[in-house]
Amino acid sequence: MYKILKKRELNPTVTLMEVEAPFVARKAEPGQFIILRVDEEGERIPLTVADFDRERGTVTIIFQIVGGTTERLNHLNEGEYIHDFVGPLGEPSHTAGLHKVAVVGGGVGCAIAYPVAKKLHAQGTEVHAIVGFRNKDLVILEEEFRSASSVLKMMTDDGSYGEKGLVTDALKALIEAGNRYDEVIAIGPVVMMKFVSLLTKQYDIPTVVSMNPIMIDGTGMCGCCRVTVGGKMKFACVDGPDFDGHAVDFDELLKRTATYKEFEKRERELACNLFKKEVK
């Protein structure tokens, strides 16, 4: 059992939790993930390690409430326990030898992009962070990104905060202003990573994207998290989650990630109704 030490609402649909998990914290690195079960009969879901504290033995997760399991997880409070919390899983993000990097985060993907930016900044890399959201109400981790970068571009689709436009608009402007990046790291919605990769390919800038496809066991056995990269099948849980953005088949990935959208919606509604009945 893993105790929830801190819980904080980042926006109406995104929650941060700090969990007591000393063995996971001891080995965790940016880019890796954990798999948890809320209770003994719950489903397994992957969540990226958003931060960790080796001394305190804690791991921070940030999740968006989209399905039944995240709805149930969000109903747990400080002092309560998560049944299973397994990790760290996946390959850590590779940061060695990078001198200047643009880190691009979109929506809740910023929770994955932040620890990478933090590590790069700590090792002396010049970090330019570009983070995008649909509107002001959905902005998360602004101060964290500000502390981990020398340049921060805040973008919103409707212009209600920061600059109006897409993350690709800001990235293109920085490139055309003369910034020469060793690498661009893009993490967020699949369609966002696709268009960032199409942009950077025009400038021949190496680009890394983080895959979060359907995942069950996290060990490569189930095959659910397969992704086509450079014409070859890869498994995000063991080969990734980071891959060459110029080699990923994004169109195939978009179709796969949409498979269970209706199921997730239905399960969340069932979970919400269950909690409403319990409150009554």
With the C-alpha atoms ordered 84, 90, 96, 101, is the resulting torsion angle positive or negative?
A: negative
Q: How far apart are CA 34 and CA 85, in angstroms?
A: 7
Tens of pLDDT, residues 5-36: 999 999 888 999 999 999 999 999 998 999 99
User: Which pLDDT score, from 0 to 100, does residue 161 have?
Assistant: 93
Q: Per the structure block, which two tokens stand in for 57?
A: 């033995």
Tens of pLDDT, residues 114-133: 999 999 999 999 999 999 99
DSSP 235: E
Whether 267 shows a pLDDT value over 60: the answer reads no
Q: Which residue has the higher pLDDT, 173 or 254?
A: 173
Same topology, domains 2-89 and 100-257? Answer is no
Mean pLDDT of the region 203-230 = 80
Q: How far apart are CA 60 and CA 102, in angstroms?
A: 23
Q: How many CA atoms lie within 13 A of 204 on its CB side?
A: 0
Which fold is adopted by the domain 2-89? Elongation Factor Tu (Ef-tu); domain 3 (2.40.30)
Please give the CATH number for the structural domain made up of 100-257. 3.40.50.80
8 A C-beta contact, residue 268 and residue 64: no
Residue extents of the structural domains in the chain: 2-89, 100-257
User: Which pLDDT score, from 0 to 100, does residue 265 have?
Assistant: 58
Tens of pLDDT, residues 52-82: 999 999 999 999 888 788 899 999 999 999 9
